[in-house]
Amino acid sequence: MDERPASFLQGEYYRDYPQRNIFMHLPRDESRDAGASAVNRVLEIAHVLFMDIVSYSLLPMDVQSRVMSHLQDVVRRLPGFEQAVRLSQLICLPTGDGMALAFFGDLMVAVEWARKVALELQSNPQFQLRMGIHTGPVYRVADINANLNVAGGGINFAQRVMDCGDAGHILMSNATAEILIQLSTWHTAIHDLGELEVKHGIRIHVFNFFDDEFGNRDMPSKVKRAADTALLTEPNLGQLVAKMCNRRTQEAEFNDTFLDGLERLPDSPQIYFILGEEGQCHESLVERLIDRVDRSRGADGRGEIATGRVKKIPWQYEGEIGQRRSRLVYSLFEHLGPNPARQPIPSKDCTSAGISDLLAASLNAYIVVQHELRAARWDSFAVDLLKKYVQFWSELPQETQRPVVLVFISIIFPRAQLPSWTRFLLGAMTAKWRKKRIWNALKTLEEDSAVPCRVLAELPSIIREDVLEWFSLHNIYDTEEKRMRAVDRLFQGGALRLKAMWEIEAFCAEELQRFAAERGFDDRWQRHSDAPRNQTLFRRGSTRFEAQSSATAV
């Protein structure tokens, strides 16, 4: 049993440890000397095990020598070491802080040796060693002393893989892991860490090699830092991507109307109607459309970031048409006004000219007003109220200093209930008739409006092919297999079953949470840590906008 003291690096063991050098005590023969005397320009595939003593340069010089000697002794005692060297199946290279072993035979030997070295040294927690394994091309060359050496990308790549780890880690490149993962002996010990950017901007795919007996199961610090940075800038991660699937038609219609409106009537507000059943996530589409506005308004060549103000204002259902209009307009002043005390607003100011003066004082690049109109509460006054509301916005005076005003009115239909086939058919017919009646009324408003107005295509339910295409376009998963497995989990009830957008959002939120948990990420991909409590800061590259709740004082 090992009786080494706890303070291993400074203890009696190292003070008396023999000064050995693995590179001075290797057996030599004529064939090896002959091979070392000339440069071999045959490209070979080697399995490189790169080992590095963490913080080696910070140790006292005498301790450095003893630590290195101990590591060399552990390697020399590995089974088959001397025979492999004698047959030129193994070349050992000193690296200053450790060593590199290039194997020209079985990959399993390199992997097994890495495991044995880790097991040998883990009894002493003060001996901090990290390892990297890579299978790649090398040349056998002769060094200045005519000793066998190796050079090439295989050695450099193995070092980069190792540099991604911390003490106790055994990391592997994708080239090595793809071989081992096919073997039942090791496939459960190989854990994907994803891609990481290393020196010269090169991206490498690394895997952590560990089980209950050896290795370090903790996330490497470099992987954590890289992921931490990527989550704040990567456009393929975050809430907006998780809320977009099969909505390109609506995006295209909005984009055409928005840009055309800015060109023809740059000072006029724009009004959009979004139709869809409950659960189709109207608000998520609005977020995506606002993101488009954010990017277009920020692309002015000055590098400035456009900021917008988003306000949700309730629709009015009670009272006569005049009462509803008055309360709706009053709500605009109440939520868009600068008065934090929400003092009463004189009725004479509740005009189109008054709201224009109010908006002109804003420092935002654009103002977004959101309404939700429940189709189940659509009555005889609904069309007239919409007409008067559109007219109110069309009467805004021309004001070049006013922010762009976007009004989104979501028409939300009830979801179909399935208590029985008879009631289902009757309900479907009634719902279809109601949708057609509302659609025709809105299209009439669109045609008669004096300001840019558009009824966007109805939000459809989601099918399996929509999700597969969406995953591929946004690189939600890095392989086709992962995409297929994810879609199978989502459509467990059958490929023909339609999904509402809320189901897609819930599924993607769970997937992002799992993705973050597996890689040690925090929740900054959802909410930026420096955002105020009543605001959410959405980041998409160099753009941002602030979303404030309507209950928050402005």
pLDDT tens per residue, range 28-60: 444 344 444 445 578 899 999 999 998 888 888
Name the one residue in this structure whose structure tokens are 């780890």.
165
Is the pTM higher than 0.85? The answer reads no
Confidence tier at 478 by pLDDT (50, 70, 90): low
pLDDT tens per residue, range 118-171: 998 887 766 889 999 999 999 888 877 777 788 888 899 999 999 999 999 999
What's the alpha-carbon Rg for the chain, to the nearest Å? 34
Query: How far apart, in whole angstroms, are the C-alpha atoms of residue 20 and residue 69?
Result: 5
- Residue 176 has a pLDDT of 93
- Residue 479 has a pLDDT of 75
CB-count exposure of residue 340 (10 Å: 0-12, 13-18, 19+): exposed
**What percentage of the chain exceeds 70 in pLDDT?**
71
Give the CATH number, domain containing residue 379: 3.40.50.300
Region 265-272: what's the mean pLDDT? 90
Q: Is residue 3 part of a domain?
A: no
CB-count exposure of residue 431 (10 Å: 0-12, 13-18, 19+): middle
Whether residue 483 has pLDDT greater than 90: no
Containing structural domain, residue 162: 12-229
Question: Is 252 found in the same domain as 165?
Answer: no
pLDDT tens per residue, range 391-407: 999 988 876 678 889 99
Q: pLDDT: is 12 or 115 the higher one?
A: 115
Whether residue 8 has pLDDT greater than 50: no
Q: Is residue 467 part of a domain?
A: no
- Residue 12 has a pLDDT of 40
Whether residue 217 has pLDDT greater than 70: yes
Q: Is residue 278 part of a domain?
A: yes
Q: Is residue 271 part of a domain?
A: yes
Q: Is residue 283 part of a domain?
A: yes
- Residue 245 has a pLDDT of 67
Question: Is 293 found in the same domain as 214?
Answer: no
- Residue 519 has a pLDDT of 56
pLDDT tens per residue, range 412-444: 988 765 555 554 555 566 778 888 899 999 999
pLDDT tens per residue, range 293-323: 776 655 444 444 456 678 889 999 998 999 9
Q: 106-115, 230-239, 260-269, 446-455: which has the minimum mean pLDDT?
A: 230-239
Region 466-475: what's the mean pLDDT? 75
* Domains identified in the chain, total number: 2
Q: Is residue 122 part of a domain?
A: yes
Question: Is 426 found in the same domain as 290?
Answer: yes
DSSP 466-535: HHHHHHHHTTSSSSHHHHHHHHHHHTTT-TT--B-HHHHHHHHHHHHHHHHHHTT--GGGTS-TTS-TTE
Give the CATH number, domain containing residue 212: 3.30.70.1230
